[in-house]
A and B are shown apart, each in its own frame.
Chain A
């Protein structure tokens, strides 16, 4: 467990003062270390206030390293929202069980029809998303849907409620190869505040989730903190410690990081959050993580606007979603069910691909094969 192995609780309390004490010399030393290798001290220097002055140099190094490791390519994927029924009470989410919004759940046929629209836009990489309610979208539902989608998609991953290792193993056998599970926040008191009820309210259980994902054999583990709940520097350090722990222990699973910043959502007042990140903060976080993890996937969704996304593909981002609908049934015409959050980049997948090409990168629709993992 990461808490004991990394001493997470003992160490986090010292991080704020250590961050304040970082000097320009510390940052320069961190930048002189081989790009792409991790140590807590190095990341601490790179996310510190002192490193803000070095953002251009961090960006230059991050870009060069990313091109060396990933080439001039950006992977594209699309999310498919399956259901908005939820038994959790996360205070930042539009699908919160206490929210009065109408709920919608796609049947497997409806979900497959939505997926066909996504495939028609060129995607071969799909992310199945649902809120937590096993009555509406259970493990069997996901396994059956994955079976239906395998012909059209070379990579199927999920961003759903936390499961047991045996449930993940069942989905892996069904052809799902990646799982994204955000801790949301690594700060215990903040976690308890934002998750007052429901299965998700147990901090330590949540933190053990990626262990189950990796132990089940999943190829890709997506980590992230919902940015804006607490201080981003501290979250970044905890996130990196978590990733480092997983990489050492589960050496066959690939870790990626996502950067979900809080977005406006139904019944969620954004101004009540005191730790919102500026664009500059976000850029510092992305480049700092790249300089510590050469080969980690760095994922940016349509929570961010077009202009910022255009720039961030030069700072280490390797995967973008495009044309996303965050409401169940959103890809079919005439459906206006409640969104999980408001999308800020409304360009079509073709427009995003064109932007990627204009910047000298190749948009990559397929970088996996359904022949991996399961026998046909």
Chain B
């Protein structure tokens, strides 16, 4: 299979990225990550002690197997996100960052103005930036112009499990993008993930739907399969959607005998 996801010159077999919040224990998290087949695992810098190798959560993620993708969840503005990214890079050497600027503490919606500002600074400073954004096609293009490695538009508010509420805007972003589009946030079921892949997303990121499931490891398997199915379907060229032809032609039937 040569169909690979490429982000900033790095190749991945899996198109499922996984988040690490909300799990009942680090062991359960580690098992779910393993079963998901993912190669990219994102970690909230607020949640871990990034300078401490023995941090419970960090220790549970095998850095030889997975790309550890720090995120700036909780940052209220560009300045905080940039500062946090630099501290993480200084402590770990990782120059990839999932940029999250979420000044609203309830829906955790991304701030477009501050996200663009932070992305410009971080790209200039040599970071590989994967920005979390609302499904805003113009913002996606501006971020691409600023040099981000992907765009990560949300499907619906984070943790809401509501699926592709932003589908119409996502389709425009996918159509216009020259960088990978990773649908992030709000995917509650494997069918949502499959739908995102079917409309042409390059990858998806899932956290709550796996972590809050009764059996996170099995749900991780289900998402793995759904992402593969959706991707395969996309590449297979789905047939056109049409209604069955009407048996009669109420408006034009009269022409038949003319």
Chain A contact residues, CB within 8 Å of chain B: 67-73, 124, 154, 219, 247, 251-254, 294-295, 357, 360-362, 364, 366-369, 371-373, 375
Output the nearest chain A residue to B79 by Cβ-Cβ distance: A375
Instruction: Fill in one digit per residue for B47-81: 1 if any A CB lies within 8 Å of its CB, else 0.
Output: 11100000000000000000000000011100010
Inter-chain contacts of B97 with A (CB < 8 A): none
| Contact present for A366 and B48 (CB under 8 Å) | yes
Given contacts A154-B49, A367-B46, A371-B45, 4 further A-B contacts (CB under 8 A): A72-B24, A124-B49, A361-B24, A369-B45
| Contact present for B22 and A73 (CB under 8 Å) | yes
Q: Is B147 an interface residue (CB 8 A)?
A: no
| Contact present for A369 and B22 (CB under 8 Å) | no
Enumerate 30 A-B pairs (CB-CB under 8 Å) in ascending A order: A67-B22, A68-B159, A68-B161, A68-B212, A71-B21, A71-B22, A71-B23, A71-B24, A72-B23, A72-B24, A72-B211, A73-B23, A73-B24, A154-B46, A154-B49, A254-B105, A295-B105, A295-B106, A360-B24, A361-B24, A362-B24, A366-B46, A366-B47, A369-B46, A369-B74, A371-B45, A371-B80, A371-B84, A372-B76, A372-B80
Output the nearest chain A residue to B105 by Cβ-Cβ distance: A254
Inter-chain contacts of B22 with A (CB < 8 A): 67, 70-73
| Contact present for A253 and B105 (CB under 8 Å) | yes
Q: Is B83 an interface residue (CB 8 A)?
A: yes
Output the nearest chain A residue to B83 by Cβ-Cβ distance: A371
| Contact present for A364 and B103 (CB under 8 Å) | no
Inter-chain contacts of B161 with A (CB < 8 A): 68
Inter-chain contacts of A366 with B (CB < 8 A): 46-49
Inter-chain contacts of A251 with B (CB < 8 A): 103-104
* Most chain A CB atoms below 10 A, which of B76, B106, B212: B106
Total number of residue pairs linking A and B with CB closer than 8 Å:
76
| Contact present for B104 and A252 (CB under 8 Å) | yes
Inter-chain contacts of B45 with A (CB < 8 A): 369, 371
| Contact present for B105 and A252 (CB under 8 Å) | yes
Q: How many angstroms between the C-alpha atoms of A367 and B103 in the bound complex? A: 16
Q: A73-B22, A362-B23, A364-B47 are in contact. Are A369 and B211 (CB under 8 A)?
A: no
Q: How many angstroms between the C-alpha atoms of A361 and B48 in the bound complex? A: 17
| Contact present for B105 and A219 (CB under 8 Å) | yes
* Most chain B CB atoms below 10 A, which of A69, A154, A247: A69
Output the nearest chain A residue to B216 by Cβ-Cβ distance: A72
| Contact present for A372 and B208 (CB under 8 Å) | no
Output the nearest chain A residue to B50 by Cβ-Cβ distance: A369
What is the interface size of chain B, counting residues whose CB is below 8 A from a CB of the partner?
28
Output the nearest chain B residue to A296 by Cβ-Cβ distance: B106
Q: Is B6 an interface residue (CB 8 A)?
A: no
Inter-chain contacts of B159 with A (CB < 8 A): 68-69
Q: Is B189 an interface residue (CB 8 A)?
A: no
Q: How many angstroms between the C-alpha atoms of A375 and B79 in the bound complex? A: 9
> Which residues of chain B (67-112) have a CB below 8 Å from chain A?
74-76, 80, 83-84, 87, 103-107
Output the nearest chain B residue to A72 by Cβ-Cβ distance: B24
The DSSP consensus for interface residues of chain B is loop
Inter-chain contacts of A295 with B (CB < 8 A): 105-107
Which A-B residue pairs are the 10 nearest by beta carbons? A71-B22, A72-B24, A254-B105, A295-B106, A369-B46, A252-B103, A371-B84, A360-B24, A362-B25, A368-B46
Contact of A71 among B83, B104, B211 (CB under 8 A): B211
Output the nearest chain A residue to B45 by Cβ-Cβ distance: A369
Q: Is B26 an interface residue (CB 8 A)?
A: yes
| Contact present for B74 and A368 (CB under 8 Å) | yes
Give min CB distance, B55 to chain A, whole Å: 9
| Contact present for B106 and A247 (CB under 8 Å) | yes
Q: How many angstroms between the C-alpha atoms of A371 and B107 in the bound complex? A: 22
Output the nearest chain A residue to B48 by Cβ-Cβ distance: A366
Inter-chain contacts of A254 with B (CB < 8 A): 105-106
Instruction: Fill in one digit per residue for B102-131: 1 if any A CB lies within 8 Å of its CB, else 0.
Output: 011111000000000000000000000000
Give min CB distance, B70 to chain A, whole Å: 11
Inter-chain contacts of B49 with A (CB < 8 A): 124, 154, 366
Q: A71-B208, A367-B47 are in contact. Are A362 and B26 (CB under 8 A)?
A: yes
* Most chain A CB atoms below 10 A, which of B26, B46, B208: B46
Inter-chain contacts of A371 with B (CB < 8 A): 45, 80, 83-84, 87
Q: How many angstroms between the C-alpha atoms of A357 and B25 in the bound complex? A: 8
Give min CB distance, B71 to chain A, whole Å: 12
> Which residues of chain B (205-233) have a CB below 8 Å from chain A?
208, 211-212
Give min CB distance, A324 to chain B, whole Å: 23
Give min CB distance, B83 to chain A, whole Å: 6
Q: How many angstroms between the C-alpha atoms of A360 and B212 in the bound complex? A: 12
Q: How many angstroms between the C-alpha atoms of A120 and B81 in the bound complex? A: 29
Give min CB distance, A245 to chain B, whole Å: 15
Contact of B83 among A70, A360, A375 (CB under 8 A): A375
* Most chain A CB atoms below 10 A, which of B22, B49, B103, B105: B105
Inter-chain contacts of A369 with B (CB < 8 A): 45-46, 74, 84
Give min CB distance, A125 to chain B, whole Å: 11
Inter-chain contacts of B107 with A (CB < 8 A): 295
* Most chain B CB atoms below 10 A, which of A357, A362, A375: A362
Inter-chain contacts of B48 with A (CB < 8 A): 366
Q: How many angstroms between the C-alpha atoms of A254 and B108 in the bound complex? A: 11
Inter-chain contacts of A357 with B (CB < 8 A): 25
| Contact present for B212 and A67 (CB under 8 Å) | yes
Output the nearest chain B residue to A254 by Cβ-Cβ distance: B105
Output the nearest chain A residue to B84 by Cβ-Cβ distance: A371
